Amino acid sequence: MRLLSLLAALWGTCGVIALLGFSVIRLSHIAVTFFDYPAEIYHWLALIVWVLFMAYSEGYKGFQLAFAPRVAARLQWLVENPKPALVLLAPAFAMGFVYASRKRMLISYMIVAMVLLFILIAEVLPSPWRAIVDAGVVVGLFWGTTATLIFAIKVLLFSGATVDPELPKHITHASEGIS
Over residues 131-170, the pLDDT tens digits come to 999 999 999 999 999 999 999 999 999 988 989 999 998 8
Over residues 103-142, the pLDDT tens digits come to 999 999 999 999 999 999 999 999 999 999 999 999 999 9
Residue type for 144, please?
Answer: G
Alpha helices, H only, 32-128: 41-54, 68-80, 84-88, 90-94, 102-123
- CA 49, CA 72: separation in Å to the nearest integer? 31
Strand intervals (E) in 34-138: none
pLDDT confidence bin for 173, thresholds 50/70/90: very low
**Which residues, in sequence order, are CB contacts of 50 under 8 Å at separation 6+?**
132, 133, 135, 136
Over residues 61-112, the pLDDT tens digits come to 999 999 999 999 999 999 999 999 999 999 999 999 999 999 999 999 999 9
Percent helix, percent strand, percent coil in the chain, to nearest 5 = 75, 0, 25
**With the C-alpha atoms ordered 92, 162, 63, 21, is the resulting torsion angle positive or negative?**
negative
Residue 99, by phi and psi: left (phi above 0), alpha (psi -120 to 50) or beta? left
Provide the residue ranges of all domains of the chain, joining segments of one domain with +. Answer: 2-158
If you average pLDDT over residues 9-24, what whole number do you get? 97
